[in-house]
Structure 1
Amino acid sequence: MRIYKFGGASVSTLERINQVKDILKNEQQEELLIVISAMGKTTNALEKVAEQFFSGNQKEALALFQQVKDQHLDTAKYLLVTHYLACENDLINFFTEVEWLLHDKPVRDFDYYYDQIVCVGELLSTCIVSAFLNESGVANTWVDVRDILRTDDRFRDANIDWSFTRQQVDKVLRPLFLATKLVITQGFIGATDENESTTLGREGSDYTAAVFANMLDASHLSIWKDVEGVMNADPKKYPGAQLIPTLNYTEVIEMAYYGAQVIHPKTIKPLQNKSIPLYVKCFLDPQLPGTVIHNKPIAHLPPIIVMKDSQVLLQLKSKDFSFIGEQEVGQLYHLFEKLSFRPNLTQNGAISFTCCLDDRPEKIEALALGATDYFDVTVEKGLQLLTVRHYHQDVVNSLVGGRKVVLLQQTPETMQMVVR
């Protein structure tokens, strides 16, 4: 048993979907679970639908969703002939899931509606790719992951019910391999015990694939991307980025924690628990070796650079110049937990507490408002968080350039700077 996960870039165009087919056409002899993300920028488009709906702009939300519908129907028309009508019927059913909601008015919080709307991206992409593969002679079975992966109701960052999900893997998923060696499902999404859709956090498709690798005792997990493998920096931002051929679980967890987009922060643990190797492969050139991630020590790594844009610095100061101690910090972390919002960097002074966060306006506003009960609050937006592991000063200087460092933390291994 193996697990393959294809990201959104690998199914973003007709040509790339054909490349996925070419990779899979020789993989029908051994059981293979295929986890596929939403196509291209679909998740971003659906996020805009959710935002407009929640803001009360129903007409705009429906217009934006119509664009998503048209894009997927057009893709299906170009790819399919004999399987088109059946695929179209399935797509319409998924469209209806969202449209009945968009014709209503929001009465719950934003995260709930986000999940109900955004989850359809993975359902649409897998439906089309599955039909295309079957029409092309690559026999596979499609399954709705929401029938298998049970979560709690922590929308946008749901936790998996491992016990129930494992039962469903044995009851629903394993028998599907009796019909075809290839089974296709979705990443990123799940469902509560009341059949409400949930998501596992951005880039959660990698995590889904790792969970199934663990539960199915897979020999390995391969994540297919549009890069050579794991790079020491984002090649779109740093043209000199270089491939790292071998990494271990610990290093990847550190990279993910600091915001590297190659591997989702929660992905490694299910693999590490069963020593399942992870391969990061390039679907544009499957012959490239990529990166292998395992549990062995690694030495002499290059500087690893992670840059997070759209950061917010929240500066909290004591109102009466009293020390900020455990009680005050505890109240702050209670707010973080209540909002399902994790700071990327924190720094505690005698009468101040500073944190750097992703710019999620509704959560920033709620956090700042809640903190005003205890602190004087200052908010600065439009910043960047730069993290360099295995740093040396020349690299740091070249990355910072002429920008101002407004917050700095460093250990012998890692330097973090908030810059404006």
Structure 2
Amino acid sequence: MQVFKFGGASVNSTERIQRVASILEGHKGQPLVVVISAMGKTTNELEKVAEAFYRGHAAEALDLFEAIKRKHLDIYNALIGDGRGQEYLVDLFTEVEWLLHDRPVREYDYYYDQIVCIGELLSTTIMHRYLDHAGIPALWVDVRDILRTDAGFRDATVDLEYAAAETKRLLTPLLEKGRTIILQGFIGATAENESTTLGREGSDYTAAIFSNLLGATSLTIWKDVEGVMNADPKLFSEAQVIPELNYTEVIEMAYYGAQVIHPKTIKPLQNKHIPMHVRCFLDPSLPGTLIHDQPVHSLPPVIVLKQHQVLLHLKSRDFSFAGAHAGALYTLLKDLHVQPNLIQNGAITIQLCVDDRGERTERLAQAASAFFDVSVERGLTLLTIRHYNTGLLETLTEGATRLLRQQTAETVQVLLRKA
């Protein structure tokens, strides 16, 4: 039994959906779980809908959502032809439109999840209907019935015990009959049936959870690149495929922000020694990257650039050691679900680098002001190089101001203000 995960790039056009279908057709009659992300940039587009709604701009939110509806209906009609089955999409559209006609009375993250989760529901519905149209048997399952989470909206924690029981009840009997099951990545639901999301790129994590719970022989992540690369090929033309990695290296890469695998993905696989393949859906004949628990040597430098960084300058008000308030700061980070990317302590100062998460970053700065004088610097870039060398570091930081630097024998991180 295998688990496949297809990212947004693999389902963002009729031609690519047909490519995915041809891959699945090659596994017809075999037990297979297929986890699918939202189409293309749909999550980004839905984020704009959520932002407009929360600002009280209902008309703008509805207009933005109308464009998303039209895009999905156009792809659906191009695939199916006669438009049969559109009611499945219309029902999903209606759920969001009802919400958009209300006024926000809860926190932004709650509305974000209720709106953004529609992307995966739409993409999987379209894929399922097309597979049925093409004569490829598959079953659509709402993953929110299985992945129960807490109410940590935008970064929810999955109740794995509940998920295991529901997976055994709902999915195992189908897989024992050799069925293909279509699931949504990235989303879950609370016990009150409020939709939640698992963090950006969380579809990988969804696939890893089901790989673990079902004891899969392997997990394959299908992407629009040849495999895991040592840098973003859109930014570095000399980026190269890494044919083999181990779990530890991938966890390090994910922790520092490499957009290849969700940071939570590896542990469920590692616990059961499940290998993961990263392969190209545009050319399935390519070998891709194998990720397992064996040692791997002679890796190239791995370059990660994280844009939109915020540096919080925290200074003790009474010249007491800043470390006396470090515990309170870490509690704030945990409570607000903020992951620190870089922390550097001085005698009376703490420098804290985090992703710019808008309102959540503002809440962090405001809460930290109970202990520190706080100033905020935005628009920064965090450069991380694994297996670095001095020449490469100098080249990549040339012309920028280095605000912070930390390094170990394997990894260097530099926070940059571009000229």
TM-score range, shorter chain: over 0.9
Distance, in Å, in 2 between the alignment partners of 1:187 and 1:369 is 33
> By how many angstroms is 1:179 displaced?
6.3
> By how many angstroms is 1:138 displaced?
1.2
1:281 corresponding residue in structure 2? 279
Distance, in Å, in 1 between the alignment partners of 2:361 and 2:183 is 34
> By how many angstroms is 1:419 displaced?
0.5
Question: Percent identity among equivalent residues?
Answer: 59
Letter in 1 for 2:352: C
> By how many angstroms is 1:99 displaced?
1.2
Contact kept? 1:188, 1:204, Cα under 8 Å:
yes
Letter in 2 for 1:351: I
Distance, in Å, in 2 between the alignment partners of 1:199 and 1:341 is 15
Pick the aligned partner of 2:411 from 405, 409, 414: 414
> By how many angstroms is 1:141 displaced?
0.7
Letter in 2 for 1:53: F
2:24 pairs with 1:24? yes
Distance, in Å, in 2 between the alignment partners of 1:375 and 1:181 is 57
2:252 pairs with 1:254? yes
Distance, in Å, in 1 between the alignment partners of 2:285 and 2:95 is 40
For residues 124-163 of structure 1, the aligned pairs below 5 Å read: 124-163=122-161
> By how many angstroms is 1:177 displaced?
3.2
Pick the aligned partner of 1:357 from 349, 354, 357: 354
> By how many angstroms is 1:180 displaced?
5.8
2:58 corresponding residue in structure 1? 58
Deviations 1:58-117 (A, max 9, x none): 1111111111111111111100036x322x111111111111111111111011100000
Distance, in Å, in 1 between the alignment partners of 2:198 and 2:262 is 10
For residues 325-340 of structure 1, the aligned pairs below 5 Å read: 325=323, 327-340=324-337
Contact kept? 1:58, 1:102, Cα under 8 Å:
yes
2:24 pairs with 1:43? no
1:6 corresponding residue in structure 2? 6
Identify which range, 174-183 or 240-249, moves more after superposition. 174-183
2:84 corresponding residue in structure 1? 85
> By how many angstroms is 1:178 displaced?
5.8
RMSD: 1.0
Contact kept? 1:141, 1:179, Cα under 8 Å:
no
2:383 pairs with 1:386? yes
Distance, in Å, in 2 between the alignment partners of 1:73 and 1:230 is 33
Secondary structure of the residue that 2:241 maps to in structure 1?
coil
For residues 7-406 of structure 1, the aligned pairs below 5 Å read: 7-81=7-81, 84-86=83-85, 88-177=86-175, 181-325=179-323, 327-406=324-403
> By how many angstroms is 1:21 displaced?
1.3
Letter in 1 for 2:348: I
Distance, in Å, in 1 between the alignment partners of 2:188 and 2:174 is 19
Q: Given the superposition, is the C-alpha separation of residues 53 and 179 from structure 1 closer, same or farther in structure 2, using an over 3 Å criterion?
A: farther
Letter in 2 for 1:109: E
> By how many angstroms is 1:174 displaced?
1.9
Identify which range, 195-204 or 370-379, moves more after superposition. 370-379
Distance, in Å, in 2 between the alignment partners of 1:186 and 1:117 is 15
Give the number of equivalent residue pairs: 417
Identify which range, 175-184 or 156-165, moves more after superposition. 175-184
**TM-score, scaled relative to structure 2:** 0.98
Contact kept? 2:406, 2:414, Cα under 8 Å:
yes
Contact kept? 1:152, 1:161, Cα under 8 Å:
yes
> By how many angstroms is 1:137 displaced?
1.5
Distance, in Å, in 2 between the alignment partners of 1:412 and 1:178 is 48
**TM-score, scaled relative to structure 1:** 0.98
> By how many angstroms is 1:303 displaced?
0.5
Letter in 1 for 2:4: Y
Deviations 1:219-258 (A, max 9, x none): 0000000000000000001110011000000000000000
What stretches of structure 2 of length at least 5 have no aligned partner?
A: none
Secondary structure of the residue that 1:344 maps to in structure 2?
strand
Contact kept? 1:141, 1:180, Cα under 8 Å:
no
